């Protein structure tokens, strides 16, 4: 699967063209999937600090939503710089989890293509033992930039 084609399909749709004509300040910010089932394409507006996502099958625009981010701006994605295909990303994740996290049973995979200091695939794997594995892969060359595992329970409010 080529994410560039997914973005191209969204951007050539009547839904996107109408949206873009009325909202020229939005730029491509992310492409993501939960479980490799359906991909969503996200567009961000610095002016409104909102994200609009498009479902891809069928193409449908979702209402603007708040952005989950640290302080700062959400950078544009340059799809021409994405050289690592999604099948390669899945293979890299599978090899890493088999080798380093072999006792884990992955129940859900979330993949986000985004610009976070550089163009990356930010992958979150949820396991049956309530652990979260985070893997960041350079989208331009497929190198693993970061991987870690933590307990999902560590995300709960410590003041409770």
Question: Could you read off the pLDDT of 60-96 as tens digits, one per residue?
Answer: 999 999 887 666 678 899 999 999 999 999 999 999 9
CB contact at 8 A, 48 and 27: no
pTM value is 0.89
Q: Please write the tens of the pLDDT for every residue from 105-148.
A: 999 999 999 998 899 999 999 999 989 999 999 999 999 999 99
φ, ψ dihedrals at 113, nearest 5°: -95, 120
């Amino acid at each position: 699967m080529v994410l560039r084609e997914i973005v191209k399909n969204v951007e050539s749709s009547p839904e996107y063209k109408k949206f873009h004509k009325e909202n020229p300040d939005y730029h491509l910010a992310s492409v993501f999937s939960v479980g490799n089932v359906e991909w969503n394409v996200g567009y961000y507006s610095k002016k409104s600090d909102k994200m609009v996502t498009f479902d891809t099958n069928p193409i449908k625009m979702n209402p603007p939503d708040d952005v989950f981010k640290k302080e700062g701006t959400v950078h544009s994605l340059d799809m021409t710089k994405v050289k690592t295909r999604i099948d390669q990303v899945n293979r890299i994740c599978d090899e890493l989890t088999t080798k380093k996290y072999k006792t884990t049973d992955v129940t859900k995979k979330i993949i986000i293509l985004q610009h976070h200091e550089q163009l990356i695939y930010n992958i979150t794997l949820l396991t049956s033992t309530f652990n979260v594995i985070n893997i960041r892969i350079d989208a331009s060359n497929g190198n693993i930039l970061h991987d870690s595992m933590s307990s999902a329970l560590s995300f709960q409010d410590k003041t409770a």
